[in-house]
Amino acid sequence: MDAARKTPDQVTQRLDELYRRLQDAAASQAGYPCNQLFDYSELYRFLGLSINNVGDPFHNSNFWVNTHEFEREVVNGFAFLMGMEPERCWGYVTHGGTEGNMYGLYLARELYPDGLVYFSEDTHYSVLKTMHILNTRSIMIKSRESGEIDYDDLRETVRIHRDVPGIVLANIGTTMKGAVDDVPRIRGIFRDLAMTDYYIHADAALSGMILPFVEEPQPHRFEDGYHSIAVSGHKMIGAPLPCGIVLAKRDSVARIARAIEYVGVLDTTLSGSRNAFTPLILWYALKRSGLSGFRKAVAAALAVADYAVARFNDNGIPAWRHKNSLTVVFPKPPHSVTEKWQIAVYRDIAHIITMPHVTRATVDAIVADCAAALQQGDCS
């Protein structure tokens, strides 16, 4: 490693190069659900302070250099979007979807220590890791072709294990196909089997910020039957730092709360020291956009997704998308194309996600590249 000290000019030059590279990479990024369109410059001054949200945002702390007040407003804003009364809801700003899912599954495990966790094949890869960390038993359930969980396989598997509580991680928008698991139907399976000890955690990483803003959403609200939900902040909303939100029922969380004398906080969160800047980002986005702003942004992005499906199909490429999804699925193109546009692939399919920074012109360019590769019979 070159540990020698650099001159200020050399340091600046390296940073300038990096900045240019990242700007280019961000502009051509179409395969991952990270909105690149945002402006948080009004918040930059807070980077001059060492702020830290250690502890429960709803509980007093001896450490005051925090943004707990804004974090609580973010939690209440998301509670509103998911149709939960703020008094019954608890939550905090996480480092992203992974932490939010881990938190929901941790709560479930604390409530039902001998519970068995069920999730579909199409579930985000991080959930398997979480199962290892929590050391909980889990069973992977088959997926349907659509990417939804296979309800028959779920019912049959739960039935065999009906002597232990069931914990389901339901996908509200799968990573690869944007499929939405039917939470009321999953709840119905437990009812039919006369099981009262069950817990449903909703992974709504991307679609959690889409479904509240469309005319005919799939079930995604607390009343539909889940007990906790995780949403990513850097996906649909867009953020310069990864972040997310987890919401849970207040009475579930009371079971795990421990008071810590050292910082005078309630130790309900997974991390100790926590980011105090990301709650400001989410707060700013919610307050500046409001419901109408998000409705507009979601409608515009869905229109681009429709446009992408049509353009692919016009060029003989069988692309499709789920209702209310920005994830446009199509057959895996050659490596040259996936690399250029940072397109995610899985087995024989690929997708682009029409986040707000992805324009119709970008779609045209991607479709042209795919069509050209198809014509050349390029399968490398």
Ligand X SMILES: *Cc1c(COP(=O)(O)O)cnc(C)c1O
Q: Toward ligand X, which CB reaches closer, 173 or 238?
A: 173
CA angle, corner 345, sides to 344 and 347, nearest 5?
A: 165
Q: Which residues contact 83 (CB under 8 A, 6 or more apart)?
A: 221, 222, 223
Q: Toward ligand X, which CB reaches closer, 171 or 268?
A: 171
Q: Toward ligand X, which CB reaches closer, 61 or 143?
A: 143
Binding footprint of ligand X on the chain (CB under 6 A): 96-98, 124, 126, 171, 173-175, 203, 205-206, 232, 242, 244
SS (H, E, C) 356-368: CCCCHHHHHHHHH
Least gap, CB of 287 to ligand X (angstroms): 22
Least gap, CB of 309 to ligand X (angstroms): 20
- CA–CA separation, 183 vs 180, rounded Å? 9
b or e along 49-58 (b: 16 or more beta carbons within 10 Å of the residue's beta carbon)? eebbbbbbbb
Least gap, CB of 232 to ligand X (angstroms): 4
Which tokens in the block code for residue 274? 């926590």
Surface-to-core class of residue 252, CB atoms within 10 Å of its CB (0-12 exposed, 13-18 middle, 19+ buried): middle
- CA–CA separation, 108 vs 104, rounded Å? 6
Catalytic residue among 50, 126, 325, 336: 325
Tell me, yes or no, if 252 is annotated catalytic. Answer: no
Residue with tokens 């980002």: 281
CA atoms in the 13 A half-sphere facing the CB of 23: 6
Least gap, CB of 82 to ligand X (angstroms): 16
- CA–CA separation, 286 vs 70, rounded Å? 11
Least gap, CB of 234 to ligand X (angstroms): 7
- CA–CA separation, 119 vs 154, rounded Å? 9
Q: Toward ligand X, which CB reaches closer, 77 or 208?
A: 208
Q: Residue 139 in 3-state DSSP? A: strand
Least gap, CB of 204 to ligand X (angstroms): 8
Q: Toward ligand X, which CB reaches closer, 6 or 129?
A: 129
Q: CA dist 373 to 51, 169, 359, 377, Å?
A: 50, 38, 21, 6
Q: Residue 132 in 3-state DSSP? A: helix
Least gap, CB of 351 to ligand X (angstroms): 11
Q: CA dist 85 to 32, 75, 123, 214, 251, Å?
A: 33, 11, 29, 21, 13
Q: Toward ligand X, which CB reaches closer, 109 or 201?
A: 201
- CA–CA separation, 266 vs 312, rounded Å? 52
Q: Residue 223 in 3-state DSSP? A: helix
> Which residue has its beta carbon closest to ligand X?
97
Q: Toward ligand X, which CB reaches closer, 73 or 203?
A: 203
The residues annotated with a catalytic role in the active site are 325
